[in-house]
Amino acid sequence: MAHRLTRLHIIFLTIVFFLVFGVCQKLYKQWSSTRNMRLTVQQQETPVVQMDSFGEIQESVDTERLKKLQQKAKQQIAVTGEKIKLKKKYGFDVSSAVVMLKNAKNAYDLSDFENALEYARTSSNIADTLSSEKVATPSVNSAKIYVVKRGDTLWDISKKHYKKGAKWYDVWKANKQIVPDFDRIYRGQKITIPGSYQQNQS
């Protein structure tokens, strides 16, 4: 027996359709919201992982650089020490190079490898500038008084008077009482410059 589709049936089916559609739409919105929240959490977590990885890489690079610097400083100190021993054996005045090498060793002991390397290289350069002549002695009664100017260093003063910056140690030794720290001299300070150097004959 066939059933006729009345107006009441149509209204009922329409209501059911809209109810089912509403429920489906609500479920879709909830699913979509949950999915978006998961994506947001993943995006926020990803940069943290990347930053952690970058920090570990940077720390590894810094550690490697420090090890290389330490090795270079150690090698330079050893080489410079041998060079100074050799120069001293042949009668050179190595006192100024020894002072710089001592500074290098002190900096190395404090794990300041960058300054240790710099001091050791300076000491090596000083040793290289020593001439092949024997240890020099200042002439008697020919000392001069020099007034320190702005920007002066003992190296500059030594180079000006003796043509050799490496003689700064002798200038400092002659003025130890008024210049206790060879790294600090002041404008207006009066220091004694030992007389012009005459080389000993070998």
3-state secondary structure the chain: CCCCCCHHHHHHHHHHHHHHHHHHHHHHHHHHHHHHHHHHHHHHHHHHHHHHHHHHHHHHHHHHHHHHHHHHHHHHHHHHHHHHHHHHHCCCCCHHHHHHHHHHHHHHHCCCHHHHHHHHHHHHHHHHHCCCCCCEEECCCCCEEEECCCCCCHHHHHHHHHCCHHHHHHHHHHCCCCCCCCCCCCCCCEEEECCCEEECCC
pLDDT at 61: 75
pLDDT tens digits for the chain (202 residues)? 456 668 777 888 888 888 888 888 888 888 888 877 777 766 665 554 455 566 677 777 788 888 888 898 888 998 888 888 888 877 888 888 888 888 989 989 998 888 988 988 898 888 888 764 444 444 444 678 899 998 888 888 888 888 888 888 888 888 888 888 877 888 888 888 887 544 333 3
pLDDT at 106: 92
Superfamily of 136-199 according to CATH: LysM domain (3.10.350.10)
**For the chain, what are the domain ranges?**
66-129, 136-199
pLDDT at 55: 65
**For the whole model, what pTM was predicted?**
0.42
Helix 7-89 × helix 95-109 angle, to 10°: 150
- β-pair partners for 198: 137
**CA dist., res. 196 & res. 144, Å (int):** 9
